[in-house]
């Protein structure tokens, strides 16, 4: 498995609303067109109204690369830039977990 956590901080409330709308337009296509994308969860952060956390889990690195190559993802990546103050990415190395079928790579 291959995963990452991304923290997005929007510029202001209007940008956060536009970002949420952009996510809504994108996530349905991720659900229906990306079989290698196992989990793609978007979270609001309690007490931090301009922040969003994405938790993404892919079958493997090739599935992540396929995700990044989708037109709906390219559109999202381009359109989000004007809405954000910052982006922080943590790449994950699965050790163990429920629902992961022991797919951690060491």
Domain boundaries, the chain: 2-92
With b meaning 16 or more CB within 10 Å and e meaning fewer, what string describes 63-101? bbebbeebebbeebeeebeebbeeeeeeeeeeeeeeeee
CATH says 2-92 is which class?
alpha beta
Structure tokens at 15: 């940008």
- The whole-model pTM stands at 0.89
Which residue ranges of the chain lie beneath pLDDT 70? 100-106
Q: What is the pLDDT of residue 63?
A: 97
Q: What is the pLDDT of residue 16?
A: 98
Calculate the alpha carbon distances from 97 to 62, 66, 73, 82, 101 in Å: 21, 24, 27, 36, 8
Q: What is the pLDDT of residue 103?
A: 59
Q: What is the pLDDT of residue 99?
A: 77
Q: What is the pLDDT of residue 14?
A: 98
Give me the sheet containing 84-92, strands edge to edge: 37-45, 48-58, 2-10, 84-92
């Amino acid at each position: 498995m291959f995963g990452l956590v991304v923290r997005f901080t929007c510029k202001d409330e209007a940008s956060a609303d536009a970002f949420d709308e952009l996510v809504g337009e994108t996530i349905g296509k991720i659900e229906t067109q990306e079989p290698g994308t196992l989990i793609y969860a978007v979270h609001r952060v309690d007490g931090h109204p301009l922040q969003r956390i994405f938790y993404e889990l892919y079958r493997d690195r090739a599935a992540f690369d396929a995700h990044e190559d989708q037109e709906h993802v390219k559109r999202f990546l381009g359109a989000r830039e004007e809405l954000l103050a910052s982006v922080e990415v943590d790449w994950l190395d699965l050790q163990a977990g429920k629902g992961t079928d022991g797919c951690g790579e060491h």
